[in-house]
Chains A and B, each alone.
Chain A
Amino acid sequence: MLTFQILANGLVLGGLYACIASGFSLVWGVLNVINILHGSFIVLGGYLAFYAHAELGVHPFLSILIAAPLFYAAGYALQGALINRMIAAPVLLTLSLTFGLDLMLQNGMLLAFTADFRKLILDPPLGVLALGPVVIPVDRLAAMLLALALTGLLYLLLSRSRIGRAVVAVRMDREAAALMGVSVKRINAVTFGLGAMMAGASGPLLATIYPISPLAGTVYLGKAFVICVLGGLGSVPGAMVGGIALGIVESFGALWFGPEHATTLSFLLLIVVLLVRPTGLLGRKGYE
């Protein structure tokens, strides 16, 4: 019976992981930029939800609607103004750039929000859902469903819309995309904007479950990294599969080896996947 409970925990965790990783994977796959800022964007989204809830009484799920356009605009501007200038540079240089920006953002958040841990507490609490012996907190379940819905929306946007098709085209062949009249620089900015949007939108979801602190982004970044490699780079279905797989592995790992080893286990999994199937579980297809 415990198995089902752990499996349910893993699925809830996995849904959130999928949402965290999809934007990171998109940016990496399309722009060949490893965006170190991704984790801090999530944290910043969490703070936005925390303060909107504390000061204005906005439900964290609703603050996603504020966070998404704000982070999209910020990401678009950042790519257009800064990262586009060195987009052709080797991946290590753009990584250094986003690493530097991340240090600035982290320290900015330390100044603005102090190093205290904060927890968004819903009042009244949403309670728990009992399915036989399996018990799931409703807030977690709702957060996971919303996370999956957001990831699904991103997938639909990329596969069905004109702008999404252009993003996928740039990912597959930027020169051929340019010949189709796609402005590659603009699509770069759109892509980074979408990545930031996914991070900013998952912040409020995670804030309902985990405490927020300025440096918590590093953990999320590590997860996103593992999931990307696990599921296959630059694909939303890959992030979905990788995220859920990681969620389940971590939950069972915590049961069998103790929760302190969950992270070690996830990186161990990463190494195994790299050895056995370097293209990730879902291969190297795009967002088709």
Chain B
Amino acid sequence: MRGSFRHIWAVAMPMLLVKDLHAGYGDVPVLWGVELEVDRGEIACLVGSNGAGKTTLLRTLSGLLAPKSGSIVFDGENLRGAEPERILAAGIAQVPEGRRLFSAMSVRDNLLMGAHLRRDGAETIGRDLERMYGLFPILRDRQNQDAGTLSGGEQQMCAVARGLMSAPRLLVIDELSLGLAPAVVDQLCDALRLLNREGLTILVVEQDVATALELAHRAFVMDTGRVTRSGPCEALRNDPAIREAYLGVI
């Protein structure tokens, strides 16, 4: 029963469906009924100014913060209020804001931490490790170095690779480009496009709206705890209101 239901879901519904999500810290509400959907195989981006609630939404999605009401459904599975462990096992991995690498652990051990939940054997995990070194060759050179000694760009590569090591179906990245040099951002975006072509679904949260709209297929604009606009990136790029508010051109 469950299997066939999920099959129907897989055909008819988006991969991730967030409906009327309310969340906050203590008595302070931050999210006021967020609506969001991510389709299989796309790159979606979530943009918005500081304090719009992007990080709070991501903390709720990853299970670090329990929502007050609303629903989060991933591939037919209701994940509202689930523990981070269950959400990761369901197939959503998150690259947190500020990377949050285990700084006094080697790069290799950081990547292995990404594979913590996997039970498919050292050989498969080893193969994925090689894949990560292929994707970001600098990580191979640095594999025995403490993650804290890496440059900002290398750390972000390590964080993305660590997220990928859980073999997720949806990779969520909080603040991909924050504090990084443009050349590094380009390299990261190229890697994400490549992963996407190989079938990975990606949700990127970005403060740099221009970068986000260039990378993603679909965009969601957040403002004071709600998603206020959404649509294909191309359409938003040409929208005068967006251009004025976020891209600095009129």
- A positions within 8 Å CB-CB of B: 162, 165-166, 168-169, 172-173, 175-183, 285-286, 288
Contacts and interface: CB of A to CB of B under 8 A. Distances in A.
Given A175-B100, A180-B166, A166 B106 contact: no
B105 A168 contact: yes
B85 A183 contact: yes
B235 interface: no
A178 B84 contact: yes
Given A178-B85, A181-B88, A183-B85, 8 more contacts: A162-B112, A165-B112, A172-B102, A178-B84, A179-B84, A179-B93, A179-B96, A288-B146
Contacts of A162: 112, 116
A188 to B, nearest CB: 14
Contacts of B62: 179
A74 B84 CA distance: 27
B194 interface: no
Interface in B175-223: none
Contacts of B94: 179
Nearest to B162: A180
A178 B65 CA distance: 12
Contacts of B39: none
A182 B103 CA distance: 17
A77 B84 CA distance: 23
* A166, A173, A178, A180, most chain B CB atoms within 10 A: A180
Nearest to A172: B102
A172 B104 contact: yes
Q: Is the interface of A mostly helix, strand, loop or mixed?
A: helix
B88 A179 contact: yes
A285 B113 contact: no
A215 B94 CA distance: 50
26 contacts: A165-B109, A166-B116, A169-B102, A172-B103, A172-B104, A173-B100, A175-B100, A176-B100, A177-B113, A178-B84, A178-B85, A179-B64, A179-B84, A179-B93, A179-B94, A179-B96, A180-B88, A180-B113, A180-B162, A181-B116, A181-B166, A182-B113, A182-B116, A183-B83, A286-B104, A288-B106
Contacts, number: 68
A184 B109 CA distance: 18
B105 A181 contact: no
Interface of B: 62-64, 83-85, 88-89, 93-94, 96, 100-106, 109, 112-114, 116-117, 146, 162, 166
Given A181-B84, A182-B85, A165 B104 contact: no
A175 B64 contact: yes
The 6 closest A-B pairs by CB, nearest first: A181-B117, A176-B100, A181-B88, A178-B84, A286-B104, A172-B102
Contacts of B116: 162, 165-166, 180-182
Nearest to A170: B102
A210 to B, nearest CB: 36
B74 to A, nearest CB: 15
Contacts of B117: 180-181
Contacts of B114: 180
A168 B102 contact: yes
A286 B146 CA distance: 11
B105 A172 contact: yes
A181 B114 CA distance: 8
A176 B96 contact: yes
A162 B63 CA distance: 23
Nearest to A163: B116
A177 B113 CA distance: 8
A190 to B, nearest CB: 13
B149 to A, nearest CB: 11
Contacts of B113: 165-166, 169, 177, 180, 182
Contacts of A169: 102, 105, 113
Contacts of A288: 104-106, 109, 146
Contacts of A179: 62, 64, 84, 88, 93-94, 96, 100
A166 B102 CA distance: 10
A178 B86 CA distance: 10
Nearest to B106: A288
Contacts of B106: 288
Contacts of B64: 175, 178-179
Nearest to B105: A288
A36 B171 CA distance: 43
A28 B9 CA distance: 48
Contacts of A175: 64, 96, 100
A183 B117 CA distance: 10
Contacts of A165: 105, 109, 112-113, 116
B165 to A, nearest CB: 9
A188 B168 CA distance: 26
Contacts of B101: 176
A286 B106 CA distance: 11
